[in-house]
Amino acid sequence: METYPDPAGRRVDRMTSPAFARALGRCDTLILPLGSVEQTGGHCPLGTDLIVAETASRIIAEKADCLVAAPLPYGDTLELDFWPGTVHVDPPVLGSYLEAVARSFLRQGFSNIVFLCCHSLDMKAVDPLCRRLHREGSGVCAIDWWKAAGEAAKGETSSAEPFGHGGEVISSMMLAIAPELMHMENASDERSLPGLARVAAHPPGSAFVSYGDFRDYCVSGSWGEVSRSATAEKGSRWLEKAASSSAAFIREWRTHPRAGR
């Protein structure tokens, strides 16, 4: 089984204060990983997004020559916080917290902050924050990890609804990262409910927007056929591909001139 060690000198919370000052002197870009604690079916742990955030951020940091902060564990889970163990933070509170953390790092000398969202709903808080910080002249960008992972897996999946919550892509990545936490014998292999298609047909950004929550989408908190399709080998490959594309984006983004800087 492939392992994903923490590259030496990247995680700022594991440095001493003098070591952090030296690292900041050679690297001006920080990855701020965002996760969640939420129901992801009967086979994935509640901390799936958090576990993936910790691993993906380390790999990206090494590939893109960045420092990386400790992952922030809780996020916006409003659409599924009726399941036991799910922890929800309202978007205004989450946005204020993320802003405080980001500004603290910017004050210390970072030029660039990369918000690595390993829980896509956190993008609702990240987007307005990045718009404000960019307007002020700070270097900020965001990565929706599960969209990057979906692109990495495109054309390589073998199940119905592979990109579902707790589906083939997510489950494969967790089998690669933390197989000891997975309970594949409990995978329900359920199909999504009709409410998901209705909302997907009218997403934010379209002329007519429809809303729902996970009770409209599934029964167990996940959907997709995973018991015979999810594998650690696939997860390792997609993790590497998504991390590489994320790192390429960061490297290219850092070359952009910014107005007023």
Give residue 202's pLDDT: 97
CA dist 40 and 31 (Å) reads: 25
Q: How many helices (H) and strands (E) are present in the chain, helices listed first?
A: 9, 4
Residue 5: inside a domain: no
Residue 38: inside a domain: yes
What is the per-residue pLDDT across 54-73, written as a single tens digit (0 to 9) for each?
999 999 999 999 999 999 99
Residue 2 — pLDDT band, cuts 50, 70, 90? very low
What is the per-residue pLDDT across 179-203, written as a single tens digit (0 to 9) for each?
999 999 999 999 999 999 999 999 9
Give residue 40's pLDDT: 97
Give residue 15's pLDDT: 95
Number of structural domains the chain divides into: 1
Residue 215: inside a domain: yes
Residue 134: inside a domain: yes
**What backbone torsions phi and psi does residue 139 show, to the nearest 5 degrees?**
-85, 110
CA dist 46 and 165 (Å) reads: 12
Residue 259: inside a domain: no
Helices (H), the chain: 17-26, 48-64, 91-107, 123-135, 145-153, 168-177, 194-201, 214-217, 232-253
Residue 99: inside a domain: yes
Averaged pLDDT for residues 94-123? 97
Give ∠ CA 142-144-150 in degrees, rounded to 5. Answer: 150
Q: Which residues contact 7 (CB under 8 A, 6 or more apart)?
A: 58, 61, 62
Give residue 256's pLDDT: 85
CA dist 110 and 106 (Å) reads: 5
CATH code of the domain containing 105: 3.40.50.10310
Residue 261: inside a domain: no
What is the per-residue pLDDT across 214-252, written as a single tens digit (0 to 9) for each?
999 999 999 999 999 999 999 999 999 999 999 999 999
pTM of the model: 0.94
Residue 4: inside a domain: no
What is the per-residue pLDDT across 110-161, written as a single tens digit (0 to 9) for each?
999 999 999 999 999 999 999 999 999 999 999 999 999 999 999 999 999 9
Give residue 69's pLDDT: 98
Count Cβ atoms below 10 Å from residue 92 Cβ, excluding itself: 10
Residue 226's domain comprises 12-253
Q: What is the rounded average pLDDT for all residues in the chain?
A: 94
